[in-house]
Amino acid sequence: MSVNKIGPYRLGKTLGVGSFSKVKMAVHEPTNKKVAIKILNRKKLNTMDMGQKVRREINILRLFMHAHIIRLYEVIDTPTDIFVVMEYVSGGELFDYIVSRGRLGEAEARRFFQQIISGVEYCHSHMVVHRDLKPENLLLDETNNVKIADFGLSNMMRDGFFLKTSCGSPNYAAPEVISGSLYAGPEVDVWSCGVILFALLCGSLPFDDENIPNLFRKIREGAFVLPSYLSDGARDLIPKMLVVDPVKRITIDGIRKHPWFMANLPRYLKVSPMQEIARSKQIDEDALAAVIEMGWPRESILQALAMGPDLLTNSHVPHNEELRPMSVAYHLMLDHKRKIELDDEIENAIPSPASAFLRDRVKFQQPSPVSVMSQVSSIPPTPVSQTGSPMARIQFDRHRRIWLLGIQTKLEPAKIMAEIFRCLRAMNMQWKMLAPYKLKTMMMPSSESTPLKDVKLGVQLYKNWSSGYVIDLQKISGQAFPFMDMYIYHVSGLRRCSSRLRTDPRSACRMVPVQADMSHSGPATGDASARSPAGQDQMDTRSELLLVKAQLLAMSRMHDEQKVANRALREEILVLRSAVRGAELGTIASNGESNS
């Protein structure tokens, strides 16, 4: 490779230089389209321990094909360098745009904000949270369309798991991030978007202080002031995004349905991420025809496109050298075509600032239930005659929006954990405590081969944001149907525990498994004592004793670990100890009677 050329790319001027990389403008010669090439020196990457950050960004960007996220076209590996070929954007950073112009008008700010939210929603649909959204990481093309960039601090989300890394820029970081608390992911991007919207409309930051401890205090308190010149719509939306409690913070879906956001929303931004993903998998005949004109056969191009992003980022894929140029050329031509269509649609969607401001004033001063419903949904309102009275329809809509995750219970934490241990013991499972209310469990070693043998389960107890507690069961490994069997078993056990508590609070200490549950650990079916009522009572007593002992041990450990003077917990332990002593005496007496 020559100094001025890398593969099919002719290098141009240097756009930027970093500590371990530099970015150059280049031209893809087969299509004559401009690209940006990030040149990463392998030796410097290893020295600065930045390899993981680069790999993360490549692995994330290869998933994306969205109008407002920077595009990755291919990765070229050499022994000394990594060449990351990306979309070229010439408009600079949104940060510089705000600095040069000050606060923006609401129509222009909304246009930027709509594009940002669309891109962030697309990221979240791929289970990616950015975690470092700020105007410096939002690039502008030549027609001032936003491109979300710099995914080096991004992370992949997993259902049921939380993130804890404190990262990102302090001024844009959410309270839970700077506090080191657990967070799911999307809510921290919503907070950052709220700070960005404030900066667009006000030309300043809502939380700013040269002293970092003071800055963090302001963020944790959610202390900011909205200027009086903002419209009612903006004054309504920004505080909903900058709520300190992440559970009460508005979601991306809530932002999308907000009247201020929906004003003059271009048609292409109304498309859901799932529709966008489906569209990206469709072959564009115009782009395909343009690549065929370059001399490549149609069948080979389709074969290259069917191989997906692996072809563009992995040099070890079969027929890589032959097929990769076709895929790169297709995507460059496709993006060029869609950019022209996009610019036309955006231009037609933007009204004059005066009419936009007037519409916002009317919308927020004269709200109407029917008009608001039509604004937040593309589905027309259902006639009242189809749903009964208007009040019935309102009640239906309100309840439909409530989502319950996990197993809901109002039992005390100690009783919940005791019931979980009872269920696990009855299912012949072993467990490891990762925290006072978090454990990992699997079947006890056995020569028997059962579907449950390969299932590993994660169990965690959460405090519900309203009342009660939630038990979250995660399938770490194993098949889905055996996992569901375990899940149903736990639900049934907790229901039995709840019913016992309602009749007698102390009866929760007596956790006798049902007959079917004991078939795995009881005597063989050929044993006469197992079939006789007296023998069954004796077996239940022994089983109950073992389970109560297990519950006592778990609760004692919980008490020792937390080191709290919890009177209710101490009383529960005393009751359990009495139950154990009574059960032991009863077992000894029954054994004596049977021996005599």
CB 40 within 8 A of CB 84: yes
List the one residue out of 208, 193, 200 whose CA is nearest residue 103.
Answer: 200
- Is 240 marked within a binding site? no
List the one residue out of 103, 97, 83 whose CA is nearest residue 28.
Answer: 83
What gap in Å lies between CA 339 and CA 143, rounded to an integer? 10
Token pair, residue 446, equals 């056995």
Across 220-293, where does the E strand assignment appear? Answer: none
Dihedrals φ, ψ of 333, to 5°? -70, -40
Kindly state the DSSP code that residue 229 receives in the 8-state scheme. T
What gap in Å lies between CA 184 and CA 163, rounded to an integer? 6
List the one residue out of 503, 512, 498, 513 whose CA is nearest residue 415.
Answer: 498
What gap in Å lies between CA 582 and CA 576, rounded to an integer? 10
Token pair, residue 592, equals 């004596």
Determine whether 489 is exposed, middle or buried from the number of CB atoms within 10 Å of its CB (0-12, 13-18, 19+): middle
Tell me whether strands 21-28 and 9-17 are parallel, antiparallel or unpaired.
Answer: antiparallel
What gap in Å lies between CA 592 and CA 47, rounded to an integer? 75
> So which residues are the catalytic ones?
132
Give the list of residues 6+ apart from residue 555 with CB closer than 8 angstroms, or none.
Answer: 414, 417, 418, 569, 572, 573, 576
Per-residue exposure over 544-570, b if at least 16 CB sit within 10 Å of its own CB, e if not = bbebbbbbbebbeebbeeeeeeeeebe
Written as one letter, the residue type at 13 is K
Written as one letter, the residue type at 495 is R
Kindly state the DSSP code that residue 283 receives in the 8-state scheme. P
Per-residue exposure over 27-64, b if at least 16 CB sit within 10 Å of its own CB, e if not = bbebbebebbbbbbbbeebeeeebeebbebbbbbbbbb
Dihedral of CA 408/410/414/416: which sign? negative
**Within its chain, how far is the Cα of 189 from the centroid?**
10
Across 29-102, where does the E strand assignment appear? Answer: 33-41, 72-77, 81-87
List the one residue out of 511, 455, 458, 502 whose CA is nearest residue 481.
Answer: 455
Dihedrals φ, ψ of 439, to 5°? -150, 160
The CA R_g of the chain, rounded to the nearest whole Å, is 31
Name the strand (E) or helix (H) holding 563: none
418 HSE (CA, 13 A, CB side)? 29
List the one residue out of 108, 160, 582 whose CA is nearest residue 349.
Answer: 108
Annotated binding site for ATP: 38
